[in-house]
Amino acid sequence: MKIIVQRVKSAQVEVDYKLISRIDQGLLIFLGIAKTDTGKEIEWLAKKISELRIFEDDQGKMNRCIKEINGEILLVSQFTLYADCRKGRRPGFDAAALPDKAERMYREFRDTLLNNEIIVKTGIFAADMQVSLINDGPVTIILER
């Protein structure tokens, strides 16, 4: 699994010009699932995200996690995180999981975050989504397992 975590002041997902999900302060997470992922990665990554201290405390230091600021997560599936651009000009996506597996693991990841008592909103799996955000910092972190 590959994950892009962005600390945001706000983020939203639209499909066909219709608002699907919106969050205020929190994390926008792009989740990529590989063919080789087994699901064992989910618990570790969800715990890491829920405990990641990237929100500022009263002294302006990154000492707070998403739970401590009552933040929300906007979770967006993104198979393009597994793009292979080593050859030619068109990316290959052979390393990305097939849709059935990817959707199942995406939902399992969402449920694991929810079990960690975090508000999680989502896009629509496999839809053509327009994602808007106001990155806070900017803070962008890549996690891989």
Helices (H) and strands (E) in the chain, counts: 2, 8
Is residue 55 part of the annotated active site? The answer reads no
Q: What are phi and psi of 40, to 5 degrees?
A: -65, -20
Question: Residues 79, 109, 112, 122: which is the catalytic one?
Answer: 79
Provide CB contacts within 8 A for 4, sequence distance 6+.
29, 30, 78, 81, 140, 141, 142
36 part of the active site: no
Catalytic residue, candidates 6, 12, 55, 78: 78
Question: Catalytic residues, which ones?
Answer: 78-80
